[in-house]
Amino acid sequence: MTDRPLLMLDVDGPIAPFDRFFRPWGYRTHRVPSQTWRQRQLDKGVTDPKPLRVWLNPAHGPSLLALPYDLVWATAWQAEADEHLAPLLGLPQLPYVSWESMHHKDPDGLHWKTRQLVCWADQRPFVWVDDEIGPQDAEWIAANHPGEALTMKIDHRSGLRPEHFARLTAWAGELGR
């Protein structure tokens, strides 16, 4: 085990921005043959789905690796993040959270990932980077996770920005003080 905190990364939004007409500066367009995406499109009645378009910033891979964290995919992409996105970002294979269930309603109004991420962290300090985090998630984590934790809500239209990397570096430096 390492002394480094975990950096739990969502893909859609923080790593791969969406919901814009124009690609954000610094990002490149990729067509990814995600089987999960293809199946969802087939289930919707699309007869010949195209690969999923994602925007990725190639500088993010080296920037993430330079941070003092153990990186973890915390995304519905699960293993497909390693298969399709890690090579495009220059990342090694990373562990990923294998969700017990996804997109379910939580009885307390938490994000569907919140409880499982705290369990997965297993008392280690962590940062959760996602575009769907709410204040109730941060409050619940503070009350139920014995280690230090930070939630970072990222705008899904712009993804990770330099100020986010600066905050991640600063937070890791503050641990244990």
Domains of the chain and CATH, by start: 6-20+58-174 (3.40.50)
pLDDT band at residue 19 using 50, 70 and 90 as cut-offs = confident
Whole-structure pTM value: 0.91
The Cα–Cα gap between 50 and 29 comes to: 14
Task: Report, as an integer, the average pLDDT of 125-147.
Answer: 95
Q: In the predicted model, is pLDDT for residue 159 greater than 70?
A: yes
Q: Please, what's the b/e burial string for 144-156 (b: 16 or more CB within 10 A of its CB; e: otherwise)?
A: ebeebbbbbbbeb
In the chain, the largest separation of any two C-alpha atoms, in whole Å, equals 56
Task: Report, as an integer, the average pLDDT of 79-85.
Answer: 95
Q: In the predicted model, is pLDDT for residue 21 greater than 70?
A: yes
> What pLDDT is stored for residue 99 in this prediction?
75
